[in-house]
Homo-oligomer: A and B are copies of this chain.
Amino acid sequence: MRISLAQINSHIGNFEGNLQKILQYIDLAREQGADLVIFPELCTCGYPPRDFLEFKDFIDQCNLELDQIRKATTGIAVLVGSPVVNPEREGKNLHNAAFFMADQKIVYQHNKTLLPTYDIFDEYRYFEPSHEFKVFEYKGFRIALTVCEDLWNLGNENPLYTVCPMDKMIDQNPDLILNISASPFAYDHAQERIDVIQANVFKYKKPLFYCNTIGAQTDIVFDGGSLVFNDDGSLLDELPYFEECLRSYDVLKVSGDRYEESGMRYEVTGASGFIAEAQPKEKYKLIHDALILGIRDYFGKLGFKSAVLGLSGGVDSALTATLAVNALGKENVTGLMMPSRFSSQGSVDDAVALANNLGISYHIIEIEPMYERFLNQLQPILADKPFNVTEENIQARIRGTLLMATCNKLGHILLNTTNKSEMSVGYGTLYGDLCGGISVLGDVYKTEIYNLVKYINRDKQIIPQNTITKPPSAELRPNQKDSDSLPPYEILDPILYQYIEKRQGPKEIITLGYDETLVKRILRMVNINEFKREQTAPVIRVSSKAFGVGRRMPIVGKYLG
């Protein structure tokens, strides 16, 4: 049997677009002589559809699309994911289903059993888990069908579920395990994914085809990297990250009787003779590529082409601009330099040097005229009170207003340039530098920013040296440095990492050797700034724990606050 994996980029709710793409990939698979082509989880509507699932009309649209796909299965079998109504009276209204269709018929429908409900996932919000586990037969192969998490209750010390679907199916002597997934990117997730899927092959000793989605849906990036395993657990192929791809494989039964489990062996080969290496897993290349896809899909799926951003001469905005150019093209990126009375000439020079290196257009707009008028008009309130964060924030908000005016007049989207260290401790002005449609670096710590810049500059100096070497500063008061308000990033970032990614409490972090006062101060800063993060742009997720939908914290909570 020849099997194609089609890792495609669906667009949430774009039924016509998704249908056309699926039909096109069915044709491609047919051209490669496939007997079966496998698409990702919920690919009819895109993943995650969130509360659109609560609309009957939305499910109707999924069904209509599924029906069109079914009609295209002449001479080829197609496996797609789509939400479907739960026919039972009790339980959630929907199932997260995988439809195996051939000859214009639905051969088998498998409903997902293990419903991820953690981090960015909310599946039990919508779906009833299935308790039915059945292997079905197609072209002489007995197939165990699974959807994403169904294979993830293995190889963990602390399994999240009390059921393991493959344990229920293995007694029915499947020849093949198929899995359709929407497994998101994090810079350390690809190897974990391989390990978990491989644990299934080691345990059940069957060839396994795993098709993952790619594409960014606002904040969540899916990286693809679909997998093919031989029955001995060896990884035959890992598809590319961050791009759509179709590849085909032949699977043969080579010995034994298929009803005699111990004697059965299989051979899987690349249909065009190729056997790919596993994909490279270098952290900063992965983050770089994920952010580019994140930007590109945010603009593309919203129907926008061009971006604007503030260029401060600092490293965060320089990196954001560079990524935007890589994602959208230099002709689609505009920089605004907005110096104040507190800006050094170096800042504008560094920003101009960057713009020239990137070949993007830019404007220099002094904020002093507005700033001076704000101070004047606010005199009844500011009175003679000393300069503080108020005046700093006014500057940042003037810049936000200038950037948004540019968006409004020219049809751009504003890119937010705040990094994860700043987001964590609230070092940023709400409605000021925290403005933007999408946060490009909100899941990248400052120390990681420098490594990304190194990666960007690996062949030639795109981001100016002075931008990299000067001490970080908001330049909102005379001679201000980040280090006036924050511990050095080399100390701050690892503490944040322990608290945010690792969910360690103060005691555990102090035990790691960090100063108690400092740890408590930092954790408090994180917690009392929840209100800012509540109102900032969606953050492109690249780590295992990003701010946003995957991290849900109370605002009025008192814990460590």
Residues of A whose CB lies within 8 Å of any CB of B are 11-15, 17, 46, 48-52, 54-58, 60-61, 88-93, 117-118, 122, 124-125, 128, 158-162, 216-218, 297-298, 301-302, 363, 365-367, 369-370, 373-374, 376-378, 380-382, 385, 388-390, 393-394, 397-398, 400-402, 404-406, 408-410, 430-431, 435, 437, 503-508, 531, 534-538, 549, 551-561
Contact B431 A54 (CB under 8 A): no
CA gap between A406 and B391 in the complex, in Å: 10
CA gap between A491 and B253 in the complex, in Å: 65
Task: Decide yes or no: A388 and B376 within 8 Å by CB, A50-B554, A162-B90, A555-B218 being known contacts.
Answer: no
Find A534's partner among B55, B405, B537, B553 (CB 8 Å cutoff). B537
Could you name 10 residue pairs across A and B whose Cβ atoms are closer than 8 Å? A49-B557, A50-B554, A50-B557, A55-B505, A57-B505, A57-B507, A91-B159, A363-B381, A365-B380, A370-B374
Find A381's partner among B128, B409, B537 (CB 8 Å cutoff). B409
Contact B54 A503 (CB under 8 A): yes
Task: Decide yes or no: A558 and B17 within 8 Å by CB, A57-B505, A89-B159, A377-B370 being known contacts.
Answer: yes
CA gap between A301 and B561 in the complex, in Å: 11
From A366, A552, A553, name the one whose CB has the most chain B CB atoms within 10 angstroms. Answer: A552
Contact A556 B218 (CB under 8 A): yes
Nearest-neighbour CB distance to chain B for A56, whole angstroms, equals 6
From A11, A55, A363, A377, name the one whose CB has the most chain B CB atoms within 10 angstroms. Answer: A377
Contact B369 A373 (CB under 8 A): yes
> Which residue on B lies nearest to A393, using beta carbons?
B408
Closest 6 CB pairs of A and B: A57-B505, A13-B559, A14-B558, A390-B408, A301-B556, A12-B557
Nearest-neighbour CB distance to chain B for A492, whole angstroms, equals 19
Nearest-neighbour CB distance to chain B for A161, whole angstroms, equals 7
Contact A559 B58 (CB under 8 A): yes
CA gap between A298 and B555 in the complex, in Å: 9
Residues of B within 8 A of A48 (CB): 554
Residues of B within 8 A of A88 (CB): 162
Residues of B within 8 A of A91 (CB): 159-162
Contact A554 B52 (CB under 8 A): yes
Given contacts A13-B560, A61-B559, A117-B117, 13 further A-B contacts (CB under 8 A): A11-B556, A12-B559, A13-B559, A13-B561, A17-B558, A50-B552, A51-B552, A52-B554, A54-B503, A56-B508, A378-B405, A378-B409, A401-B401
Residues of B within 8 A of A556 (CB): 11-12, 216-218, 297-298, 301-302
Nearest-neighbour CB distance to chain B for A523, whole angstroms, equals 10
Contact A52 B559 (CB under 8 A): yes
> Which residue on B lies nearest to A216, using beta carbons?
B556
Tallying the copies of this chain within the complex gives 2
Residues of B within 8 A of A217 (CB): 554, 556
CA gap between A330 and B557 in the complex, in Å: 26
Nearest-neighbour CB distance to chain B for A423, whole angstroms, equals 14
Residues of B within 8 A of A551 (CB): 51
Nearest-neighbour CB distance to chain B for A506, whole angstroms, equals 7
> Which residue on B lies nearest to A215, using beta carbons?
B556
Contact B381 A377 (CB under 8 A): no
Contact B409 A50 (CB under 8 A): no
CA gap between A290 and B278 in the complex, in Å: 57
Task: Decide yes or no: A400 and B431 within 8 Å by CB, A217-B554, A538-B534 being known contacts.
Answer: yes
Residues of B within 8 A of A15 (CB): 559
Residues of B within 8 A of A408 (CB): 388-390, 393
From A14, A378, A397, A405, name the one whose CB has the most chain B CB atoms within 10 angstroms. Answer: A405
Contact B381 A431 (CB under 8 A): no
Contact B409 A401 (CB under 8 A): no
Residues of B within 8 A of A301 (CB): 556, 558
Contact A390 B409 (CB under 8 A): yes
CA gap between A229 and B162 in the complex, in Å: 37
From A302, A409, A560, name the one whose CB has the most chain B CB atoms within 10 angstroms. Answer: A409
Nearest-neighbour CB distance to chain B for A548, whole angstroms, equals 9
Nearest-neighbour CB distance to chain B for A484, whole angstroms, equals 18
Find A536's partner among B366, B393, B535 (CB 8 Å cutoff). B535
CA gap between A54 and B552 in the complex, in Å: 10
Residues of B within 8 A of A128 (CB): 162
Residues of B within 8 A of A17 (CB): 558
CA gap between A376 and B393 in the complex, in Å: 22
Contact A161 B558 (CB under 8 A): no
Residues of B within 8 A of A552 (CB): 50-51, 122, 125, 549
Residues of B within 8 A of A298 (CB): 556
Contact B397 A377 (CB under 8 A): no
Residues of B within 8 A of A380 (CB): 363, 365
> Which residue on B lies nearest to A118, using beta carbons?
B125
Residues of B within 8 A of A118 (CB): 125
Residues of B within 8 A of A555 (CB): 218, 302, 538
CA gap between A174 and B44 in the complex, in Å: 50
CA gap between A504 and B13 in the complex, in Å: 16
CA gap between A15 and B560 in the complex, in Å: 11
CA gap between A404 and B394 in the complex, in Å: 8
Residues of B within 8 A of A54 (CB): 503
